[in-house]
Amino acid sequence: MYVTADSGGSAPRPPRLPRPRSEIAAFQPYRTPPVKADVRIQANEWPEPNPAGHHITPQELDGVLLNRYPGRGDELRDVLAARWGTRPDQLILGNGSNELLLQVFLVFGGHGRKTLLFHPTYTMHGRLTVLAGGTVVEEMVGLPYELTKERALAAMAKARPEIVVFTTPNNPTGNTIDGDLILEIAERYPETLVLVDEAYSDFAGKTLVPRMDAYPNMVISKTFSKVLAAAGLRVGVLIVHPELINYFTAAALPYNVSTLTLAVATRIARDEASVQRRLALAAKERKRVYSALRRISAVDVFPSVTNFILFRLREGKPADVHARFLEQSVLIRDISMWPGCQGCLRASLGTPPENDRFIAALDAVFAAPAVPR
């Protein structure tokens, strides 16, 4: 207990400490507690080991000089611009795409400004909006996640947000949002910033990047954490129209991506053959895991084009089912507390042997009805 000097010890007062804004004081950390498991398919990462030494030799490391601040990442920008058909100066690099998403909300959101989200979706968009001082407006699409043009337009007309976010393919539902719907919103609301989160777009083989020229109010985020198999490297990219780029470059943190990261990321970005191999593997494994889940009568499974699959329990508690998977040393994600995800769990694709373990675990997990213990 903390006792102030003049209270005489009888009337404890709350300590006089700085307090954050009330909405921040109520925040819980995003991270889930560290849990040990043989099969870790809870975070939508790429499951195959990707050692840094595959990309950069000890000799090359000698050329990475840590005493100097990093450069602007021109080489990485050139490689990525060629990959996406943009200009290099349209790309903002970040320490993971979450950092860049925060930048979007800091620059275009903030106090008195609204972000429209279509739930269920990636929860960081809401958290980062609030962190930046803005207000979230939630439109509940529910499951299956089928966002219609009418619904999106009605929500826009009602909310009149400064920012609207479309995650496509969407996390946690695994399906895409119609690109024409997004473009129509961007066209009808030229003063709204349309943020398209394309973290999983390679898996879907669809992107709105080639359409950006005609929509200066659209920004697109990408990440190295999924098909590029580099979640640990922390690299994200924001693709911005030349009309808006100065707002982002002005607000960017200087030197936010390290020299070492830039060197490794450039190598990874050049390795298109690995991307194609991973896409083929993901498609094959997704089919296998999806079919296995479909055979379980206790769950509804939602079709996915990504490296993860969402399923919903018809009865029982997600926490119990999650615990039963863990008894089999398989760690999946209980997302039942996400808005619109009651009863839902999400499993990322593992390596083929890991997916075998997940599929084998299904029988044990769902052999008995999901009852609390």
26-45 positions binding ligand PLP, by CB under 6 A: 44
Classified as helix, coil or strand, 237 is strand
Classified as helix, coil or strand, 27 is coil
- State in angstroms the smallest separation of the CB of 99 from ligand PLP: 7
Applying CB under 6 A, which of residues 137, 199, 282, 370 lies at the interface with ligand PLP? 199
59-118 positions binding ligand PLP, by CB under 6 A: 96-98
Q: Are the C-beta atoms of 265 and 236 separated by less than 8 Å?
A: no
Applying CB under 6 A, which of residues 197, 285, 334, 354 lies at the interface with ligand PLP? 197
Q: Which residue, 253 or 368, has its beta carbon nearer to ligand PLP?
A: 253
Applying CB under 6 A, which of residues 52, 231, 279, 298 lies at the interface with ligand PLP? 231
Distance CA 144, CA 24 (A): 32
Q: Which residue, 171 or 328, has its beta carbon nearer to ligand PLP?
A: 171
Could you say whether residue 225 binds ligand PLP (CB under 6 A)? yes
H or E element, residue 220: strand 218-223
- 78-110 in b/e form (b: 16+ CB < 10 A) is ebbbeebebebebbbbbbbbbbbbbbbbbbbbe
Could you say whether residue 182 binds ligand PLP (CB under 6 A)? no
x/- map, 137-176, ligand PLP, by CB under 6 A? ------------------------------x---x-----
Q: Which residue, 108 or 338, has its beta carbon nearer to ligand PLP?
A: 338
Could you say whether residue 122 binds ligand PLP (CB under 6 A)? yes
Classified as helix, coil or strand, 329 is coil
- State in angstroms the smallest separation of the CB of 257 from ligand PLP: 12
- The residue type of 348 is S
Q: Which residue, 97 or 328, has its beta carbon nearer to ligand PLP?
A: 97
Distance CA 262, CA 266 (A): 6
Strands 344-348 and 308-313: antiparallel
Could you say whether residue 201 binds ligand PLP (CB under 6 A)? no
Q: Which residue, 286 or 324, has its beta carbon nearer to ligand PLP?
A: 286
Distance CA 64, CA 53 (A): 14
- State in angstroms the smallest separation of the CB of 200 from ligand PLP: 7
Q: Which residue, 171 or 259, has its beta carbon nearer to ligand PLP?
A: 171
> What is the residue whose two structure tokens read 């991307």?
275
Q: Which residue, 93 or 330, has its beta carbon nearer to ligand PLP?
A: 93
Q: Are the C-beta atoms of 215 and 240 separated by less than 8 Å?
A: no
Could you say whether residue 223 binds ligand PLP (CB under 6 A)? yes
x/- map, 233-262, ligand PLP, by CB under 6 A? ---x--------------------------
Q: Are the C-beta atoms of 127 and 268 separated by less than 8 Å?
A: no
Could you say whether residue 320 binds ligand PLP (CB under 6 A)? no
Could you say whether residue 120 binds ligand PLP (CB under 6 A)? no
Classified as helix, coil or strand, 104 is helix
Strands 218-223 and 193-197: parallel
- State in angstroms the smallest separation of the CB of 372 from ligand PLP: 29
Instruction: Give the C-alpha distances (Å, rounded to integers) separating 170 from 29, 166, 173, 203, 308.
Output: 22, 8, 6, 11, 10
| Number of residues counted as binding ligand PLP (CB under 6 A) | 13
- State in angstroms the smallest separation of the CB of 53 from ligand PLP: 21
Distance CA 223, CA 92 (A): 12
Closest CA to 194 of 73, 258, 104, 126: 104
Distance CA 129, CA 111 (A): 10
Binding site for ligand PLP (CB under 6 A): 44, 96-98, 122, 167, 171, 197, 199, 223, 225, 231, 236
